[in-house]
Amino acid sequence: QVQLVESGGGKVQAGGSLRLTCQASGRLFSSAAWFRQAPGKDREFVATISYGGGSTLYADSVKGRFTISRDNAKNIVYLQMNNLEPGDTAIYYCAAPQEGSLSTLNLAWEYEYWGQGTQVTVSS
């Protein structure tokens, strides 16, 4: 069983930056991803990273602005968010599939474990 805890959310002005952190309990032996959900909208994929960190995928809406990375020695997954826009406002969730699933995944139903979410608010 894996437990995930997100942190680093907050309020920033458009053009600002935030770094989100996903801390996993114990070894996170799988790929990982970030999703987000705005009020009244479906949960949407943001970014995913393979277990080894060599492969990443991004939603078109964040490509070039966000970077997903990980530190397996610390069991942490990061999401560096630059040039934030008001449309990025949402609750951001960290997710992981079952242990041993090492490749990048971008569908919510492929994920087994979810954090509680952290709020990101971008004002203009």
Amino acid, single-letter form, for residue 20 = L
CB crowding 48-75: b at 16 or more within 10 Å, else e: bbbbeeeebbbbeebeeebbbebeeeeb
CA distance 7 to 77: 11
Q: Give the model's pLDDT for residue 78.
A: 98
CA distance 69 to 71: 7
At 40-62, the pLDDT tens digits run 999 999 999 999 999 999 999 99
Query: Would you say 84 and 122 are in contact if contact means Cβ atoms under 8 Å apart?
Result: yes
At 25-39, the pLDDT tens digits run 988 999 999 999 999
